[in-house]
A and B are shown apart, each in its own frame.
Chain A
Amino acid sequence: MSAPPHDPWFRLARWTKARIGLGRVGASLPTREVLSFALAHAQARDAVHARLDRDALANALAGLGLGAVIVESEATDRQVYLRRPDLGRTLSLRSRTLLEVRREPCDLAVVIGDGLSATAVTAHAQALLSAFLPHATRLGLKLGPVVIAEGARVALGDEIGAILGAKAVAVVIGERPGLTAADSLGIYLTYAPRPGRNDGERNCISNVRPDGLPPAVAAARLAWLVDAALARELTGVSLKDETDLTLGHEPGDRLGP
């Protein structure tokens, strides 16, 4: 028996990434489609459960001339992390102590967190920072240490930024994986970070990956936002992104961790 063909309108699939024209066996999917879906889901699941190799990332950043502090939230266990977003927003005691001795006023603290896709962080965080550094130099930004955080939710950056005494914090974090892309980074910028900030007080750059918003473009947009945030002393809904670098993708903060 030969494999069931795609539907005669399969060529329409070039207009969308949606799974159209799949073909059928009676009411059911062809075997190839069952397995192709299973593979995409498996990759997304692996991305959610992957653990961030913080030391490897620290080494990579050292190659860029950046010192890193390695911390974690109260939710390093992935099961706990997924169930308890509140713990992912709270630093472990050890981490707090570690950061307190590094306190020194700076313009921007960068936090790299695993979020819901360590895969994304491993794949693109170094490229993003590498692209961002020349902008930081150009703008004369005083950068704090880069903080690598495991078990991180976006709001963990509020506590980190406050302890370090940073004017603003940029949290670079793995976004919730979809079936088409399991390696998207999100960047959340918050001016005057402190625990209790809400999402309306942040600016978000999402879908950062080579096939989405390329890291170099995201870095330029982040630089613009940081510059504007420091000048206007705010972030959030009242700071509109005026860069013209969009790719037509909508920020989906509901996709963020």
Chain B
Amino acid sequence: MTFRRQIKHTTYVFGSLAELLAKASPPRAGDRLAGLGAATAEENVAAKLALADVPLKTILATPVIPYDDDDVTRLILDTHDIKAFKPIASLTVGEFREFLLSPATTSRTLAALAPAVTPEIAAAVSKLMRNQDLILAARKMQVVTAFRNTIGLPGTMAVRLQPNHPADDPVGIMASIADGLMYGAGDAVIGINPASDSLPRIEGLLRLLDDLIQRFEIPTQACVLTHVTTTLQLVGKGVPVDLVFQSVAGTEAANRSFGITLDMLKEAEAAARDLKRGTIGQNVMYFETGQGSALSANAHHGVDQQTCEVRAYAVARAFRPLVVNTVVGFIGPEYLYDGKEILRAALEDHFCGKLMGLPMGVDVCYTNHAEADQDDMDVILTALAAAGVTYIMGIPGADDVMLGYQSTSFHDALFVREAFNLKRAPEFEAWLKSAAITDGSGRLLPARADHPLLAQSLLKSKALRSRRPA
């Protein structure tokens, strides 16, 4: 199928829906690297103009990667809810943008619509939306999930406490966890990226987190972000696993490069649910995504990086995750070059994820070879808070000493709460108050050296006291 748009004497021809979507994308490094982006600024807008007139039905009928070639396409089409699609079935992409922004379209309308939205529909409409549109539309979307607390309620924003250590040292990790809890962070999940893939080490970390959560009765969940097959092995051994983590991508080939299949994710979700460790909910999966992953695995099928990214959300939503986040600036400047491109991608990912019904968080982050700094992250964080982001990362001082990149800090989370009056997950908020970490309004109380979390946690144990500092 070809698409055309004439501008004065030039007729722009787009040979396929994938080409049209790629050329309509706001410019970014990864699409330039793949040779998929528009050649000129005018071609970019010509593609947007052509895309605005495409009926949503046409997108549904035109898979960007053939059904027979890719299990993500099969998942998307096999689970599409035709009944839910009815209210928007007659719309074009341009009209769909206006539908989303109309005051008549409420949170409830959007929630009912989620199963009707395919990744290609979400990606297409996002390409016609300005940053402010992505904020205003996402703001209306509420996705609520639960495990030991409730995430995504209106007026709240959660934080993943990310206490990484380059050698997975339990004491170093506990020091960062104590710091984060004393700063009121950790309601989304306490999640460690391990440096090692070793089973005994990961088991040790999981037991450490489980012990902490039980001992202090913290209404939150733990996760060690390792490969799904590793977590499954540990579940089989009876190790306490709250959430199963996995990075996912938007094509079968890219997922293969991650060493995963959809069946593996299905098995993992069932295994974790069987443990019945959630006290108030059974959302047991934690997924991470990020624009550029399909291209970097050489598995993009000529589809632009943002559309590939949204296809990953179709994978995620099939397994009812507690939290999903896009690690938006981690991949580096060959995919998202600077603060402007990272901001755009963050808002797109958040909007598209929410539109598809996901509890969408964002790792607001950058690497040292990207054209970005803390000021860019402040702007992105502020824009996401306005958009109602489900959760962000909390890392001591924004500096991840294991992964070697900069994300958001415990202080950044306090800034957002202050600027937007955002609360934590209610169960966690109540715990912080009962633990005398926060006051009745959720603000931090003056820190005390003799707080039980510091005094009684692992840090004080005799075995560790006798150790020399690293």
By a beta-carbon cutoff of 8 Å, the part of chain A in contact with chain B is: 7-9, 12-22, 24, 26-29, 33, 37-38, 40-41, 44-45, 47-48, 82-86, 116, 176-180, 182, 248-250, 252, 255
Contacts and interface: CB of A to CB of B under 8 A. Distances in A.
B415 A20 contact: no
A18 B397 contact: yes
A178 B404 contact: yes
Contacts of A18: 163-165, 172, 175-176, 179, 395-397, 399, 401
When A and B form their complex, which 6 residue pairs have the shortest distance between CB atoms, in order from nearest?
A19-B397, A8-B449, A16-B172, A27-B414, A178-B404, A20-B179
28 contacts: A7-B182, A8-B447, A8-B449, A12-B175, A12-B179, A14-B470, A15-B169, A15-B172, A18-B164, A18-B165, A18-B176, A18-B401, A20-B176, A22-B396, A26-B418, A27-B414, A27-B418, A45-B368, A82-B333, A82-B337, A83-B29, A84-B334, A85-B33, A176-B368, A179-B399, A179-B406, A182-B368, A250-B195
A208 B405 CA distance: 18
Contacts of B344: none
B374 A37 contact: yes
Given A8-B448, A176-B367, A37 B397 contact: yes
Contact of B411 (A24, A45, A180, A248): A24
A239 to B, nearest CB: 18
Interface in B171-188: 171-176, 178-179, 182
Contacts of A249: 166-167, 195
A48 B333 CA distance: 12
Contacts of B404: 176, 178-179, 252, 255
Interface string B449-466: 100001000010000000
A37 B401 CA distance: 13
Nearest to A84: B33
Contact of B470 (A15, A27, A48, A252): A15
Contacts of B173: 16
Contact of B369 (A8, A33, A48): A48
B167 A29 contact: no
Main secondary structure of the interface of A (DSSP, over half): loop
B465 to A, nearest CB: 11
Nearest to A16: B172
The interface size bin for chain B is 35 or more
A16 B176 contact: yes
B396 A41 contact: no
B373 interface: yes
A85 B334 contact: yes
Chain B CB within 10 A, most for which of A12, A84, A86 = A12
B200 interface: no
Given A37-B398, A178-B404, A44 B414 contact: no
Contacts of B409: 19, 29
B179 A7 contact: yes
B368 A48 contact: yes
Given A16-B470, A250-B195, 9 more contacts: A12-B459, A18-B396, A19-B399, A29-B409, A40-B399, A178-B405, A179-B368, A179-B399, A252-B404
Contacts of A252: 404
B418 A9 contact: no
B434 interface: no
B397 A20 contact: yes
A22 B397 contact: yes
Contact of B179 (A9, A84, A85, A177): A9
B396 A9 contact: no
Given A12-B175, A12-B179, A27 B165 contact: no
B396 to A, nearest CB: 4
B238 interface: no
A9 B415 contact: no
Contact of A16 (B175, B333, B448): B175
B432 to A, nearest CB: 15
